[in-house]
């Protein structure tokens, strides 16, 4: 079993990084080479801007290369509750942004010739309890009427056409969602940005960020520095650099994944006949999908932790394997070939934030929907930097700090205990 991301292990690494460190000047310095930063660098370079992209490690090596491989439209939280809280009009604007993100991913893949097995397979959200089915059915009725007619309910009597298990009480199908190979997408996105003129520096963590005049910032790494007319923070949960204001608003929560050996097609046809991206309604969520080489990826929260290291990942992987076998007993003897973890950047309300603060532009906090929203917001922020703040769907949304939180999530064990209780009683 490899304690590394399947996506990163099976993708051709990006070979177009600049040597050494940054120097001179740039129109825009983008900090962070995940999907947000790469998408922004590509969009800006296409517009003719002089772009420098700085990454603390390797391209698409953090959350962008450690996720579940799902490009899902729709909110993580309940649409009915969100539309009640934000208002129907605002909720629909945000929902359409999620849809537009999936469309943009597909368009970039086509235009730039990225071979990453993109396929619109749909997402199935499974009701873990009868009351959960009623709740998501209420949301689906509103969605179909107001904003997304490409959704439908799958009652429990029809679940065997979707999943080879009787554990769930029905579900909701989002037909626009897609799956792809995240490693190949990330490396291909980097290659496209470089091909259009962006200068990408790996292993260059930002350790200094100083405003020198107007919006011009001096950006410093251990290997060099440059001056940029504009700076875009696309760093997510990075603990490197002078980003304390953002760390008080984002909580890194561990997400863990296992991947089986290649499985017989006949077995996969019984377990997941339509090859959907599948997730359930528990707080300790489980999700799964089939990979291009017929492996089953099975992921989830497993434990509420802010750590991802070999020991933590192995413990979580053992929990996930038990959950997978409980759902699909046919996989009892299936070999686990990959086990890894990564950090999901969660905001308090599980909605992203993007905008400008003290001359710094930022987009982050995708809360488990980073693949398409990061790609979309990278492109949107390229327009915002060009003076089109009105295109930012998150413009004007308040973003208060989390009380008592300064970057170390001491409260996660208590949150985990509360959510485990909620999963038990509700």
Query: What superfamily would CATH give domain 6-414?
Result: FAD/NAD(P)-binding domain (3.50.50.60)
Residues 44, 385: contact at Cβ < 8 Å? Answer: yes
For position 387, what pLDDT does the model report?
Answer: 94
Domain range annotation of the chain: 6-414
Report the phi/psi class of residue 270: left, alpha or beta, with left for phi > 0 and alpha for psi in -120 to 50: alpha
Give residue-wise pLDDT tens across range 349-363. 889 999 999 899 999
Q: Among the listed ranges 193-197, 310-314, 363-367, 415-419, which one has the minimum average pLDDT value?
A: 415-419
Residue 310 has pLDDT above 90, yes or no: no
Q: Give the chain's length.
A: 426
Q: Is 338 helix (H, G, I), strand (E, B) or coil?
A: strand
Whether the per-residue pLDDT at 307 is higher than 80: the answer is: no
The tokens 């040597």 sit on which residue?
19
Q: What pLDDT is stored for residue 238 in this prediction?
A: 66
168-182 pLDDT, tens digit each: 999 999 999 999 999
User: Using the 8-state DSSP alphabet, how is residue 331 labeled?
Assistant: G
The CA–CA distances, whole Å, from 125 to 120, 169, 191 equal 15, 11, 34
Query: What's the angle, vertex CA 320, arms to CA 318 and CA 325, rounded to 5?
Result: 100
Pairwise CA distance, residues 4 & 177, whole Å: 26
Task: Tell me the pTM.
Answer: 0.94
């Amino acid at each position: 079993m490899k304690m590394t991301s399947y996506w990163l292990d099976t993708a051709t690494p990006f070979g177009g990084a600049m040597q050494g460190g940054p120097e001179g000047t740039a129109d825009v310095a983008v900090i962070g080479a995940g999907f947000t930063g790469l998408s922004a660098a590509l969009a800006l370079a296409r517009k003719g801007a002089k772009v420098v992209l700085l990454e603390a490690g390797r391209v698409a090596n953090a959350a962008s290369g450690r996720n579940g491989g799902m490009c899902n439209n729709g909110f993580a939280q309940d649409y009915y509750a969100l539309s009640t809280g934000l208002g129907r009009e605002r909720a629909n604007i945000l929902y359409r942004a999620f849809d537009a993100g999936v469309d943009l991913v597909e368009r970039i893949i086509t235009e730039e010739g990225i071979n990453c097995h993109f396929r619109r397979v749909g997402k199935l959200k499974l009701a873990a309890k009868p009351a959960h089915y009623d709740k998501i059915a209420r949301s689906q009725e509103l969605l179909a009427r107001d904003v997304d007619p490409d959704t439908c309910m799958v009652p429990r009597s029809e679940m065997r056409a979707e999943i080879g298990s009787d554990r769930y009480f029905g579900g909701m199908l989002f037909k626009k969602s897609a799956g792809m190979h995240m490693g190949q997408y990330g490396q291909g996105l980097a290659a496209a940005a470089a091909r259009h003129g962006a200068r990408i520096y790996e292993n260059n963590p930002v350790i200094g960020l100083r405003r020198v005049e107007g919006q011009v910032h001096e950006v410093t790494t251990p290997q060099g520095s440059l001056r940029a007319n504009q700076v875009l923070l696309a760093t997510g949960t990075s603990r490197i650099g002078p980003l304390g204001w953002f760390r008080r608003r984002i909580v890194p929560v561990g997400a863990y994944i296992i991947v089986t050996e290649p499985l017989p097609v006949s077995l996969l046809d019984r377990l997941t006949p339509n090859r959907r991206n599948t997730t359930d309604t528990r707080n300790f969520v489980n999700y799964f999908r089939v990979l291009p080489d017929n492996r089953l990826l099975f992921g989830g929260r497993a434990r509420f932790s802010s750590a991802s290291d070999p020991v933590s990942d192995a413990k979580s992987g053992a929990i996930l394997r038990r959950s997978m076998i409980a759902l699909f007993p046919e996989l009892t003897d299936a070999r686990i070939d990959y086990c890894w973890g990564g950090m999901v950047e969660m905001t308090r309300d599980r909605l992203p934030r993007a905008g400008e603060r003290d001359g710094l532009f930022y987009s982050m906090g995708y809360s488990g929907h980073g693949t398409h929203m990061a790609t979309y917001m990278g492109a949107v922020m390229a327009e915002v930097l060009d003076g089109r703040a009105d295109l930012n769907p998150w413009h004007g949304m308040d973003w208060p700090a989390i009380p008592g939180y300064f970057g170390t999530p001491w409260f996660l064990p208590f949150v985990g205990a509360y959510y485990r209780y909620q999963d038990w009683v509700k």
